[in-house]
Amino acid sequence: MPSPPTSAVLGREEWTARAAAHEARIDRWTEPHRERRRRGESHPVLDFLFSYYSQAPGRLRRWHPGPGTQLAGPAPHADWRWYAADGATVHLDAEAYVADRGDTVRFVRGLLAATASRPAFSGCFGLHEWAMVYRDTRTRHAVPLRLGREGTDAVVEAHPIRCTHFDAFRFFTPQAVGRNRLQPTRESQADLEQPGCLHAGMDLYKWAYKLSPAAPGDLVADCFELAVEIRELDMRASPYDLRAHGYEPVAIETPEGKAAYVAAQRGFAERGAVLRARLVDLCDQLLGAS
């Protein structure tokens, strides 16, 4: 177990600037979301980031310094859970945090380390979204299917499906379940999750905010922005026609679409590997400090 990190002290001017920069960075996404909610509008792509992922926009824009950093001067963090004051500074009380949230820290570390140990698989072509509407009269979003009902079913039937991610697989239609080469369960999640999976990449954001307030604000924001980009590819490659919302399709039923999908997927896997390592290091810092 690594030793606790050396403590650093941020002056009030520096940490308030970091907090303001974090809020401005996050507001690029939260402000349009709040405005849509005020108008009673939904968004078939971006709402997912605030509905499936349960972090409230207000909490997402709240900046945290992470373990091993003290904030000089009066800081609102002093009144937040798992923070402690030490004379004129405020810091995350890592020991108290792990005492309460240690099981979560260990679970997240174990899952992410197991995922990182496997090669990235890039031959799924985003067919999980197609399997969610296969041979069903309903769709998950109020937008039309790009190839129609029969065309959508034909794409599913023409491709092998190998979805490793339980939280995607659990939304397959009953007719699509048996077409998946794997049968993921919650219990087998750590055994099957692999770094090429788009949903595993998006979920880095979930694990980051699950570790809040211990997760530094820049790490949470980096994971969130990756999730935004992955979500856009996920839906562009889906059976839905989202051109009215400004998203050009990635036609995975064609060789050109498959190539474009795989190239983007590999790029996301590389970026996700860096964030996954940072999250594992964070978990090690917390467990070492405790």
Record the tokens describing residue 272, joined without a space. 């996700």
Torsion angle, alpha carbons of 290, 273, 213, 282, to 10: 20
C-alpha distances out from residue 254 to 67, 241, 270, Å: 48, 16, 25
- Which residues are within 8 A (CB) of 206 and not within 5 positions of it... i.e. 6 or more apart? 53
One-letter identity of residue 14: E
Q: What confidence score (pLDDT) does residue 87 get?
A: 84
HEC string of the chain? CCCCCCCEEECHHHHHHHHHHHHHHHHHHHHHHHHHHHHCCCCCCCCHHHHCCCCCHHHHCCCCCCCCEEEECCCHHHHCCCEEEECCEEEECHHHHHHHHHHHHHHHHHHHHHHHCCCCCCCCCCHHHHHCCCCCCCCCCCCCECCHHHHHHHHHHCCCECCCCHHHHCCCCHHHHCCECCCCCCCCHHHHCCCCCHHHHHHHHHHHHHCCCCCCHHHHHHHHHHHHHHHHHHHHCCCECCHHHCCCCCCCCCHHHHHHHHHHHHHHHHHHHHHHHHHHHHHHHHHHHC
> pLDDT digit of tens for each residue in the chain (290 aa)?
443 444 799 999 999 999 999 999 999 999 999 999 999 999 999 999 999 999 999 999 999 999 999 999 899 999 999 999 988 999 999 999 999 999 999 999 999 999 999 999 999 999 999 999 999 988 778 899 999 999 999 999 999 999 999 999 999 999 999 999 999 999 999 999 999 999 999 999 999 999 999 999 999 999 999 999 999 999 999 999 999 999 999 999 999 999 999 999 999 999 999 999 999 999 999 999 76
Q: What confidence score (pLDDT) does residue 161 get?
A: 96
CA distance 191 to 1: 24
pLDDT tens column, 48-101: 999 999 999 999 999 999 999 999 989 999 999 999 998 899 999 999 999 999
Q: Are 57 and 35 in contact (CB under 8 A)?
A: no
According to DSSP, the β-strands at 69-72 and 89-92 are antiparallel
pTM, to two decimals: 0.94
Phi, psi of 22 (to 5 degrees): -65, -45
CA distance 270 to 137: 37
As beta bridge partners, residue 252 has none
Q: What confidence score (pLDDT) does residue 3 get?
A: 37
